[in-house]
């Protein structure tokens, strides 16, 4: 049975389990900083703002994570000291500089009554079993927003695009990646998606 709860209501080792899922799900993006998933988990585990995150739990194990913010409060806070401790001075400093901009990006004019869904990931052994769908449905039922946004989904991320479309999200913005970069990273567009609750 899947139960979904806010991550700050879970036990003391929640952060560690969340970090593993994050590293597993986002390793392709973070490969420059380390190819070692355990090292990535150790480096990024500190950043989760737990009261902004939800976790799906199966048999006392965290199976999936996602943040939902009010488009103003960041869901993660990167600490340069922690990043340097695990990634070394150079890569740690670079991660703090580059990823802070990306991970903690603010909405310029935060829309009202709107939630931002971020950092969705399911542990590999639980993928394809409806876990992310159930977790996101729970988040949308238990938060008060009328609309939900998911910013920056790579057009090549078929599992994610299918997941969000199946849940009823629709594309509202498409940002082309400059040609040189697109060739290098294999992504042509970043898609922003939106879901509006009925009624
Ligand atoms: C994207 C991700 C969160 C999906 O989690 P999940 O728990 O496996 O998703 P679900 O089982 O709820 O799947 C729901 C729907 O998504 C789609 N989907 C999921 N995995 C898929 C896959 N490998 N290929 C194609 N479609 C897929 C399907 O439409 C599926 O519905 P169906 O089972 O009726 O066909 C997971 O693959 C993941 O963690 N990926 C790495 C991190 C990531 O890319 N996060 C998204 C960042 S925007």
Rounded to the nearest 5°, which phi and psi values hold at 8? -75, -5
Residue 138: the pLDDT is: 98
Please say whether the dihedral angle defined by the alpha carbons of residues 124, 130, 135 and 140, taken in this order, is positive or negative: positive
- Looking at the domain assignment, is residue 172 inside a domain? no
In contact, 187 and 155? CB cutoff 8 Å:
yes
Give the pLDDT mean for 103-132. Answer: 93
- Looking at the domain assignment, is residue 87 inside a domain? yes
Residue 110: the pLDDT is: 82
Name every residue whose Cβ is closer than 8 Å to that of residue 142 and which is 6 or more positions away in sequence: none
Give the pLDDT mean for 6-24. Answer: 96
Pocket test for ligand 1, best of 117, 118, 152, 163 (most atoms within 8 A of CB): 163
- Looking at the domain assignment, is residue 36 inside a domain? yes
Domain of 52, in residue numbers: 2-145
pLDDT bracket for residue 180 (50, 70, 90)? confident
pLDDT bracket for residue 198 (50, 70, 90)? confident
pLDDT bracket for residue 106 (50, 70, 90)? confident
Atom of ligand 1 at shortest range from CA of 119: 47
- Looking at the domain assignment, is residue 98 inside a domain? yes
Pocket test for ligand 1, best of 57, 76, 126, 128 (most atoms within 8 A of CB): 128
- Looking at the domain assignment, is residue 85 inside a domain? yes
As to burial, measured by CB atoms within 10 angstroms (0-12 exposed, 13-18 middle, 19+ buried), residue 153 is buried
Question: Within 6 Å (CB) of ligand 1, which residues are found?
Answer: 25, 64, 120-122, 127-133, 153, 157-160, 162-163, 166
In contact, 43 and 87? CB cutoff 8 Å:
yes
The pTM (predicted TM-score) of the whole model is 0.96
pLDDT bracket for residue 105 (50, 70, 90)? confident
- Looking at the domain assignment, is residue 134 inside a domain? yes
Q: How far is the CA of 97 from the centre of ligand 1 (A)?
A: 30
Number of separate domains in the chain: 1
Atom of ligand 1 at shortest range from CA of 129: 11
- Looking at the domain assignment, is residue 175 inside a domain? no
Residue 109: the pLDDT is: 85
Least confident range of 54-58, 73-77, 164-168, 195-199? 195-199
Whole-number Å distance between alpha carbons of 83 and 70: 26
Residue 185: the pLDDT is: 81
Whole-number Å distance between alpha carbons of 98 and 113: 29
pLDDT bracket for residue 182 (50, 70, 90)? confident
Give the mean pLDDT of the chain: 95
Query: CATH number for the domain including 123?
Result: 3.40.630.30
- Looking at the domain assignment, is residue 168 inside a domain? no
Residue 6: the pLDDT is: 97
Give the pLDDT mean for 130-137. Answer: 98
Q: List, in sequence order, every beta strand (DSSP E) within 39-113.
A: 53-58, 61-69
User: pLDDT tens digit string along 35-76?
Assistant: 999 999 999 999 999 999 999 999 999 999 999 999 999 999
User: pLDDT tens digit string along 143-158?
Assistant: 999 999 999 999 999 9
């Amino acid at each position: 049975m899947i139960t979904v709860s806010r991550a700050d209501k879970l036990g003391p080792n929640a952060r560690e389990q969340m970090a593993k899922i994050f590293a597993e799900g986002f390793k392709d993006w973070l490969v420059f900083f380390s190819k070692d998933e355990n090292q990535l988990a150790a480096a990024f585990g500190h950043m989760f703002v737990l009261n902004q995150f939800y976790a799906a739990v199966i048999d006392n194990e965290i199976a999936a994570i996602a943040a939902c913010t009010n488009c103003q409060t960041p869901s993660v806070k990167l600490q340069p000291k922690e990043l340097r401790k695990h990634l070394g001075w150079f890569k740690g400093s670079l991660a703090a500089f580059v990823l802070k901009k990306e991970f903690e990006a603010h909405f310029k004019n935060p829309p009202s009554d709107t939630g931002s869904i971020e950092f969705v990931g399911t542990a590999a052994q639980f993928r394809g079993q409806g876990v992310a769908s159930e977790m996101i449905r729970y988040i949308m039922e238990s938060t008060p927003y009328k609309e939900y946004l998911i910013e920056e989904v790579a057009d090549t991320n078929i599992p994610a695009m299918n997941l969000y479309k199946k849940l009823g999200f629709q594309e509202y913005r498409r940002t082309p990646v400059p040609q040189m970069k697109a060739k290098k990273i294999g992504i042509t567009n970043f898609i922003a998606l939106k879901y509006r609750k009925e009624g």
